[in-house]
Amino acid sequence: MAKVKKSLPVLKKAPTGIDGFDQITNGGVPQGRPTLVCGSAGCGKSLFAVEFLIRGAMEFGEPGVLMTFEETADDIRKNVASLGFDVDKLIAEKKLVIDHVKVDRAEIEENGEYDLEGLFIRLGYAIQSIGAKRVVLDTIETLFSGLSNQAVLRSELRRLFYWLKERGMTTVITGERGEGQLTRQGLEEYVSDCVILLDHRVIGQISTRRLRVVKYRGTTHGTNEYPFLIDEEGISVLPITASGLDYEVSNERISSGVDGLDEMLGGDGYYRGSTVLLSGTAGTGKSSVAAQLARATCARGERCMYFSFEESPAQIQRNMRSIGVDLAPYVKKGTLEFHSTRPTVFGLEMHLVRMHKLIEDFQPSVVIIDPVSNMQNAGTLEESTNMLIRMVDYLRKNNILGFMVSLSGGGKAVEATEEGLSSIVDTWLLLRDVETNGERNRLLYILKSRGMAHSNQVREFLITSQGLKLVEAYLGAEGVLTGSARVAQEARNAKDLRKTEDEVARKKLAYEHRRRATEAQIEALRAGLMAEEEEFLRAVEAEQARLQRISTDREAMSRSRGLASESTAPKRRR
Amino acid sequence: MMQRERSQYIDSTREFEEMLKTSGEQHYVLRLYVTGTTLRSAKAIETIRALCDDYLAGHYELTVVDIYQQPTAVQADQIIAAPTLVKSEPLPHKRLIGDLSDRDRILVGLDLSHETLEHGEDDE
């Protein structure tokens, strides 16, 4: 089976070199066949076609012919010079031919039967002169405005497509979008093997460019609308894989930059490549936590990218310096990059594409998005959620730690983010403030942190001039004690402790006294005992001495009676 | 022929018309682009030759270009269709596309008014 499958001819594809487009189409446009790129005015179709041609010549060694019906060769040269393409060089190297076909209605008069052989010959000659593999026709419908014989034009264009196909030219034709159909003439989409629709939509005053592969004969392709971007490097399409849940995970940990927080997260911080959400109400110090993370990342020698949607880079740096976090050296060193934009500058998709591009270029290990909550200004809530989910997918896939800051609105449940991000993040930190005794204090706790032992405790979160500090909060009768209440409690505790210490010392002293007294008593008793013993020994001695004396006396008496030798016998007998 | 015309100057209107004529009798540079020896090409060549002889005898230059033979000329002269008749002189530029089957329209297209035709007929 496998062998049979292998031997089947597979549709060959010609890479366009356009960022992301080749991923969507699994390789590019169909090789040797015509592809239609259509869209309304200003959607970037000509740029798409020209980029396909130039990149083909520069990157894939396939020379190309650009037959332009609208812009002159000079216009094209200028247009793409801004993208860094040197058309003249390509022309000199015989990698590119630009043929401007002028169709001037005022000059032309039709008289009888004709065909478009002139066009064929021009194209054929241009192809032959450089051995072209790629052809761009931009935009053939200009012919329809210059010539009035529709029947001839249609049959000739049809012939042109077959002619190009026969020669194995990978062709891109552009077409203006018509009403109710993809092109005005309704011709190009039928003769093309692949149709790409470009769109430039404005919703809520924000424009987004989108690309969709409408048709692609003989191959599978992504059918979604993909946002794309035109910038100084040409077109980039954002390939959003439908469900990218097959990424590798890392067991490596990354410090959060806040000592106490690392401890709460099992001692080591976040997982590399995980997604962290920090939500909190206004003024709870969310950005400060983010800045600490940025500093810690850069201090390790890794790169960090900071997307700010509220503050300018200078503002962030100034503000963070006030809490002792100096980010300027890292910015200077190039390991930290700030990108500040208003969310409403462009559509969400554009934001996403732009962020992708920046991340791709910079290759950071940590990406901070501060805040994600106002992204919905650039679209609807649902769209911003979708966008963030895709962002998270992308970051995870690239093993980048995503740190997202979310502002939760006052009065709403803090445990619910508006963005609906809660289920996709790995670690969720919550900052909240408590108002007691006329002051507001910050609290931090970990709502969840997948795959690691984490503290269930609420910590008081202090913003000091030396950075952030996490202090164990006191649990009192009325709940958690923070701020001055905590300080008071601490003082009270210290007093209590002192009191206890005094007590112990006093007790110890008393014991010492008693011990000494007892010892003295023991000494006295022992002394008495010794005295008694002495007395006793003396008495024993005296008794012995007395007995000795008695026996001596008796001997002396018997001796004195003269019976010294026998004296013992009668005595024993007795 | 030229001298006879010049002597006929009478009034300003006449003079103006004469000037138009003389401008009409300015050198005509025509190029006809054809595709080899197809029927259409042959028909176009035949038509334009006859027409030039009738109207522009002596002051025209007609070049027939076979685009198969000279592909570079096609780009230089912005040819897309065949046959194409290009009038590069006198101004304005004009290009007639097709096998030139409508004689009246060629005359209009080439700015050869009917007066010229009448004049030509007078000549004979």
Task: Calculate how close chain A gets to B55, using CA atoms only, in Å.
Answer: 18
Please state which of the ranges A49-58, A355-364, B34-43, B95-104 shows the lowest mean pLDDT. B95-104
Give the span between the Cα atoms of A231 and A84, in whole angstroms.
11
* B92 prior amide bond cis, ω within 30: yes
List all residues 6 or more positions away from A277 whose beta carbon is below 8 Å from its beta carbon.
A404, A406, A417, A421, A422, A425, A427, A428, A429
Give the span between the Cα atoms of A177 and A197, in whole angstroms.
9
Instruction: Give me the residues paired with residue A480 across strands.
Output: A475
* Chain A neighbors of B33, CB-CB under 8 A: 118
Check pLDDT > 80 for residue A480.
Answer: no
Check pLDDT > 80 for residue B57.
Answer: no
Cβ separation A109–B96 shorter than 8 A: yes
pLDDT of residue A3: 44
Cβ separation B97–A119 shorter than 8 A: no
| Buried-state track A370-384, b at ≥16 Cβ within 10 A, e below 16 | bbbbbbbebbeeebb
Nearest CA in chain A to B96: A109
Question: What percent of chain A shows pLDDT beyond 70?
Answer: 91
Cβ separation A109–B94 shorter than 8 A: yes
Cβ separation A143–B74 shorter than 8 A: no
Residues belonging to chain B with any Cβ–Cβ distance to chain A shorter than 8 Å? 33, 35, 40, 43-44, 67-68, 71-72, 74-75, 78-84, 92-102, 105-106, 108-109
Classify A364 as helix, strand or coil.
Answer: coil
Check pLDDT > 80 for residue A375.
Answer: no
Please state which of the ranges A334-338, A387-391, A563-567, B76-80 shows the lowest mean pLDDT. A563-567
Q: How far is CA A127 from CA A74, A130, A167, A537, B95, in A?
A: 20, 6, 10, 140, 26
Please state which of the ranges A113-122, A139-148, B18-27, B32-41 shows the lowest mean pLDDT. B18-27
Summary mean pLDDT of chain A: 82
Please state which of the ranges A8-12, A319-323, A344-348, B98-102 shows the lowest mean pLDDT. A8-12
pTM of full prediction above 0.95: no
pLDDT in tens, A312-350: 888 888 988 888 888 888 989 888 989 888 887 777 777
Taking 3-state DSSP, the helix, strand and coil percentages for chain B, each rounded to the nearest 5, stand at 50, 20, 30
Instruction: State the pairing for strand pair A34-39/A170-176.
Output: parallel
Tell me which of A70, A225, A263, A302 is the catalytic residue.
A70
Is A70 one of the annotated active-site residues of the chain?
yes
Cβ separation A122–B71 shorter than 8 A: yes
* Chain B neighbors of A101, CB-CB under 8 A: 78, 80
Cβ separation A122–B101 shorter than 8 A: no
| Buried-state track A424-435, b at ≥16 Cβ within 10 A, e below 16 | ebbbbbbbbbbe
Question: What angle separates helix B114-123 from helix B39-55, to the nearest 10 degrees?
Answer: 70
Is A541 one of the annotated active-site residues of the chain?
no
Task: Calculate how close chain B gets to A103, using CA atoms only, in Å.
Answer: 8
Report the amino acid identity of residue A557: M
Task: Specify whether the CB–CB gap between B65 and B29 falls below 8 A.
Answer: no
The sheet that has A225-231: what strands, in order across it?
A: A96-100, A64-68, A134-138, A170-176, A34-39, A194-203, A206-216, A225-231, A234-237
pLDDT of residue A550: 92
Check pLDDT > 70 for residue B15.
Answer: no
Cβ separation B81–A116 shorter than 8 A: yes
Tell me which of A310, A311, A383, A418 is the catalytic residue.
A310
pLDDT in tens, A400-434: 899 988 887 655 555 555 556 777 788 888 888 87
* Chain A neighbors of B102, CB-CB under 8 A: 111-112
| Buried-state track A297-334, b at ≥16 Cβ within 10 A, e below 16 | bbeeebbbbbbbbbbebeebbeebeebebebeebbeee
DSSP run (H or E) holding A433: strand A427-436
pLDDT of residue A514: 93
Q: How far is CA A386 from CA A157, A349, A358, A380, in A?
A: 43, 10, 20, 10
Give the span between the Cα atoms of A134 and A96, in whole angstroms.
9
* Chain A neighbors of B111, CB-CB under 8 A: none
Question: What's the whole-number mean pLDDT along residues A198-205?
Answer: 78
Task: Calculate how close chain A gets to B19, using CA atoms only, in Å.
Answer: 24
Cβ separation A114–B33 shorter than 8 A: no
Cβ separation B81–A121 shorter than 8 A: no
The sign one gets for the Cα dihedral A320, A326, A330, A332 is positive
pLDDT of residue A2: 44
Which of A101, A111, A126 lies at the smallest CB-CB distance from B78? A101
SS (H, E, C) A311-348: CCHHHHHHHHHCCCCCCHHHHHHCCEEEEECCHHHCCH
Q: What is the DSSP letter of A193?
A: S
Task: Calculate how close chain B gets to A314, using CA atoms only, in Å.
Answer: 57
Using a 10 angstrom Cβ sphere, with 0-12 exposed, 13-18 middle and 19 or more buried, the burial of residue A208 is buried
Give the span between the Cα atoms of A225 and A206, in whole angstroms.
17
Closest by CA to A126, choosing from A94, A165, A158, is A94
Give the span between the Cα atoms of A212 and A222, in whole angstroms.
8
* Chain A neighbors of B82, CB-CB under 8 A: 114-118
- pLDDT band per the 50, 70, 90 thresholds, residue A527: very high
pLDDT of residue B115: 42
Radius of gyration, alpha carbons of chain B: 16
A–B interface: beta-carbon pairs under 8 A: 92
Please state which of the ranges A20-24, A122-126, A337-341 shows the lowest mean pLDDT. A20-24
pLDDT in tens, A231-243: 777 887 776 654 4
- pLDDT band per the 50, 70, 90 thresholds, residue B2: very low
Q: What is the DSSP letter of B49?
A: H
pLDDT of residue A102: 83
CATH topology of domain B26-118: Glutaredoxin (3.40.30)
* Chain B neighbors of A115, CB-CB under 8 A: 35, 40, 81-82
DSSP per-residue string spanning A444-473: EEEEEETTS------EEEEEETTEEEEEEP
